[in-house]
Amino acid sequence: MDMAKGLLGRTAGAAVAAAVLLALAGCRGGDGADEGKQDGAAVIAPGRPGEAARTLSPGEAARRQPDDSPNAADRTYVQHMIEHHRQALAMSALVPARASADPVKRLAERISAAQQPEISAMQKWLARYPQPSAGAGAGHDHGAMPGMASEEQLAELAGARGADFDRLFLRLMTAHHEGAVKMAAEVLAGGNNGAVEEMANEVVATQSAEIHRMRAMG
């Protein structure tokens, strides 16, 4: 988890560095402000500490913004994490009728409340950034997703009741969350899209906290 915490610090700094701090200036400058008049409103780009701000045309400002086009790591992460979350929801749906401990029931409620909206957000992301070609990224290899429970484990969980269910659920869900954090760490290291970075950071923060909670419950 130290790696996850380090990634949070790195990406928080990266987000600040990636943001273009631009402010609109007046549409009219002095007699020499032909560029601002010609291209539209001038843009003020703050300089580094001790340096004066620079006036840029809108075109220059746009060119200076970082390119956060999705890469293969971004797309793989989103596609796999949707499937990963769906399994967590399926596991959590077993809890009300089988669990005996109230903390386990509350945990399952929190997981469902958090991950269903995250699935919706990732589906919207996929709609916004469709695959560049029909064959790219096709299929989902569950074996490539760390933390996924096997069919046998899911069947065992569905057949358990009471304290046995609670113990098995916590064990499987802890491994599931650890896998999700690993996937998020990988895309934070290799992805390029800002929205995916935000989603991955949310997974690291939320699921790391739940991992600690489940370990304490177990």
According to CATH, the superfamily of the domain at 72-217 is: Ferritin, core subunit, four-helix bundle (1.20.1260.10)
Q: Give 200-204 contacts, CB < 8 A, sequence gap 24+.
A: 200/11, 200/77, 201/8, 201/11, 201/12, 202/118, 203/81, 203/118, 204/4, 204/7, 204/8
Comparing CA positions, the residue from 158, 6, 2 lying closest to residue 90 is 158
pLDDT by residue, tens only, the chain of 218 residues: 444 444 344 444 444 333 333 333 333 344 444 444 444 566 675 655 666 766 767 666 555 567 889 999 999 999 999 999 999 999 999 999 999 999 999 999 999 999 999 999 999 999 999 987 654 444 555 557 999 999 999 999 999 999 999 999 999 999 999 999 999 999 999 999 999 999 999 999 999 999 999 999 97
Write out pLDDT tens, residues 33-46: 444 444 456 667 56
Write out pLDDT tens, residues 48-91: 566 676 676 766 655 556 788 999 999 999 999 999 999 999 99
Q: Where in the chain is the domain with CATH 1.20.1260.10?
A: 72-217
